[in-house]
Copies of this chain bind each other. A is one copy, B any other.
Amino acid sequence: MVARKRSPLKIKVTEEHQCSVDLRLRILSQVPFFQHLSPAELAFVNRLFHEKGFSVDDLICSAGDPAEQLFVIADGRVKLLHYSLTGKEIVLDLLTAGEFFGSPATSRAEVYQDTAQAQTQACILTIGRDDFRQILDRYPSVVLKVLDIMSARLKAAHERVHQLSVLPVDQRLAGILLRLGDKFGEPREVGLLIQVRLSRDDLAAMAGTTTESASRAMSQFQKDGLIRSGREWVAISDRAGLEGIAGEEFET
């Protein structure tokens, strides 16, 4: 009905999902908890990491498995999720290059808490728990950074609990789109394009609702001129409008 024929998404398709040494060092230097290290220190850190490529939809780790690795995304997008007993999917977070997941914990006998799935082709840097521990011992400042990030994630999770508790579907969805726009948005003619393949299923799994409800809400947003959207892509055309719907984002 509206002019939105072709997908404006540009999806990278690298045949080999491998990263050069250069890329590895650049990525590691962008990871928040390594940012402040010197080149020499980074080189030491780099030596402890291994590298692994994944294709779309590959599982990187599964909730419940023994947690032995910490993962850093060098390239690509990773989806953190749970599955309910009924098979319903819950998306907990969407991560991009420079972010980590897996086990920052130091105790043994831990298991991965979430399943991580490659949402695009991805290059992942991995490090064993003991090797990571070695870094923490050697550079105490790193662990403080990790702590800050965990704090931020806990805050985000609490906010989500809040929203699931009190907001209706359309408000939750609007909030999700805004956050995705901040994190993955790129300015285009269609508006702020969210550079991720996002199906209605994915959005539903983030908002804690069904595909159909997500679709209805998105249709309404589009009718109201707040977004443009097609098959597996979304762009925000009226940020202020969406904010008006999301309403309560930060409150006491």
A251 surroundings in chain B (CB, below 8 A): 82-85
Contact in complex: A161, B164 (CB < 8 Å): yes
Q: Give Cα A162 to B90, complex, Å.
A: 7
- Selecting from A21-29, A101-109, A237-245, the interface stretch reads A101-109
Q: Enumerate A37-64 residues with CB–CB distance to B below 8 Å.
A: 62-64
Q: Enumerate A217-252 residues with CB–CB distance to B below 8 Å.
A: 247-248, 251-252
Query: What residue in chain B is nearest A85 (Cβ atoms)?
Result: B248
Contact in complex: B85, A147 (CB < 8 Å): no
A155 surroundings in chain B (CB, below 8 A): 113
Given contacts A105-B147, A137-B140, contact A161 B92 (CB under 8 A): yes
A151 interfacial by beta-carbon distance below 8 Å: yes
CB distance from A155 to the nearest CB of B (A): 5
Contact in complex: B82, A144 (CB < 8 Å): no
Q: Give Cα A64 to B154, complex, Å.
A: 15
Interface residues of A (CB under 8 A from B): 62-64, 82-86, 88, 90, 92, 103-107, 110, 113-115, 136-137, 140, 143-144, 146-148, 150-151, 153-155, 157-158, 160-162, 164-166, 208, 247-248, 251-252
